[in-house]
Amino acid sequence: MRTLFGHSIRSELVLLYVSEALACFVAIYLLSAREAGSAISFAIIVTLCAGLISGASGLYQPEAWSRGRRLLLGTLVAGLLLLLLAWPVLRLLDPAYPQRLGNHLVEVLLAFVAAVMTTRLGLALVTQMGLLKRRLLLVAPPRAAGHALADGKPGPFEVIEVLLPDADLATALAPETLRQRHIWGVVASDPSQLPDGVASRIAAANIRFFNEVEFREQHLNRVDIDRLPDNWIATTRVMREGWAEALLRRVIDLGLGLLLVLVTLPLLLLTALAIRLDSKGPIFYRQTRVGRDGRVFELFKFRSMVVDAEQGGATWAKKRDPRITRVGRIIRLTRIDEIPQVLNVLRGDMAFVGPRPERPEFVAQLAKEIPHYNDRALVRPGITGWAQVNYPYGASVEDARMKLAYDLYYIARRSLFLDLLILVATVRVVLFQEGSR
């Protein structure tokens, strides 16, 4: 695991990104070198765009590597998106070059596909050989030994041994012993049970040391709600955010909001017309939501359900919900119904990235059943968020608990870098209709 701007990223993903960038640069440069002029510029642009496009197409999702059809589809989608993104940028740099390279579009696409497939097959081979495995020692009672690697996500970790708290830990956890056994990290369920100085000596020897909560948080990218201390908010990055970062966030939200409205204006007009022709009722739907610091505001969406869909009270949407109209089903699957929330962003009710705003009725219910639920109101709610790109649509208290675990992870580690990762992953969620109802 590597920590970038406070966010934990698996080392194999960093390796994959670097190898993919190199493969793309070499493949595109060799192909475009036949054209005079801007071969290097084109190769650099493609390389810079490739990582973002691959992320937006889900090609950094581990499950995509194990499914041949999903990997091929994601790669083809990524290739097409890459050409759409790189083409206008290159045209600004050299207006004549795109025309010269136009005859080789298919070759450029195939070169990118080959680079992506080759790097992922190489990673799969290296993983099968066990070269990326990280050896762990667990210090825990028998009943708690497997908890740190629970949730079916062992990832690249291999537990070499489970040490009981009453063992000779000073000897077993000596740095020279750990190096001889090629131990990557030590996870202790209760560090207070370790002999004095052991943890600091392990860290000084450049061997990772985690308590169980830290390891699970970095491994799963979500917090353990039940183990959060009451004063956890004081240590979050949100509390250390200065006025300059807050201003920059607001400027970015305003810029992205205006750009999204301009780019999608024809689509918005067609959607409004389709809703009007499909069913009776208003085009837009206003719903009361809870925002930052518990303030209530009106959220705007395209109407996707029949009028008076909630006469019996507020309820979560279900699969194949009969209240959803024909046009509504399409715009919910493609997330077009969410675009009018840009108005809330421009008004300052919301940000582009943050916890999803919930309805007051649900907030009151969930706050009674889930600890720390009201802590999600520390930041502005968002159109998309860490929970939205990591967990499917939730329609129960347990789903709300899991989504809160991701939301609080975001609040604790919030940064512009993490916001960028979320925005890129949102494209994947929209393209492949993940979690839509």
Q: Which of 61-75, 111-125, 141-155 bottoms out in mean pLDDT, i.e. has the lowest?
A: 141-155
**CATH assignment of 134-220, given 2.170.120.20, 3.40.640.10, 3.40.50.10700, 3.40.50.10800?**
3.40.50.10700
d(CA 288, CA 294): 12
The band of 269, judged by pLDDT with boundaries at 50, 70 and 90, is very high
Report the mean per-residue pLDDT for the chain.
Answer: 83
pLDDT tens, residue by residue, 317-349: 666 677 888 998 899 888 899 999 999 999 999
d(CA 390, CA 410): 11
Residue 258 is predicted with a pLDDT of 95
E strands, 150-262, where?
157-163, 185-188, 208-211
Phi, psi of 3 (to 5 degrees): -110, 120
Are the C-beta atoms of 184 and 136 separated by less than 8 Å? yes
- Note the pTM of the prediction, 2 decimals: 0.86
Residue 376, C-beta contacts closer than 8 angstroms, at least 6 positions apart: 355, 404, 407, 408, 411
d(CA 262, CA 194): 59
Q: Which two tokens stand for residue 328?
A: 């509504």
Amino acid of residue 330:
I
Sole residue written with tokens 């929209």: 430
d(CA 62, CA 123): 11
d(CA 242, CA 238): 9
Cα separation of the two ends of the chain: 34
Q: What's the Cα-to-Cα distance from 346 to each of 3, 335, 423, rounded to whole Å?
A: 32, 19, 17
- Could you tell me what percent of the chain has a pLDDT over 90? 31
Work out the average pLDDT over 15-19: 89
The band of 351, judged by pLDDT with boundaries at 50, 70 and 90, is very high
- For residue 281, give the DSSP letter: S
Q: Which of 85-94, 171-180, 252-261, 311-320 has the highest mean pLDDT?
A: 252-261
User: Can you spell out the DSSP letters for 168-192?
Assistant: -HHHHT-HHHHHHTT--EEEES-GG
The band of 122, judged by pLDDT with boundaries at 50, 70 and 90, is confident
d(CA 318, CA 307): 17
Strands 351-353 and 382-384: parallel
The band of 384, judged by pLDDT with boundaries at 50, 70 and 90, is very high
- Could you tell me what percent of the chain has a pLDDT over 70? 85
What is the per-residue burial (b if ≥16 Cβ within 10 Å, else e) of 68-90? eebbebbbebbbebbbebbbeeb
pLDDT tens, residue by residue, 241-266: 778 888 999 999 999 999 999 999 99
Q: How many secondary structure helices (H) and strands (E) does the chain include?
A: 17, 10
Sole residue written with tokens 């084109």: 42
Residue 30 is predicted with a pLDDT of 80
Are the C-beta atoms of 119 and 20 separated by less than 8 Å? yes
Residue 160 is predicted with a pLDDT of 86
The band of 301, judged by pLDDT with boundaries at 50, 70 and 90, is very high
- For residue 350, give the DSSP letter: -
Residue 99 is predicted with a pLDDT of 60
- For residue 298, give the DSSP letter: E
User: How many Cβ atoms sit within 10 Å of the Cβ of residue 130?
Assistant: 9
The band of 299, judged by pLDDT with boundaries at 50, 70 and 90, is very high
Strands 208-211 and 2-4: unpaired
Phi, psi of 5 (to 5 degrees): 55, 35
- Residue 290, pLDDT above cutoff 90: yes
169: nearest Cα among 182, 126, 339, 161: 161
Kindly list the domain boundaries of the chain, sorted by start residue. Answer: 2-128, 134-220, 239-431
Using CA atoms in the order 406, 411, 413, 419, what is the torsion angle rounded to 10 degrees? Answer: 80
Identify the H or E element spanning 20.
Answer: helix 11-32
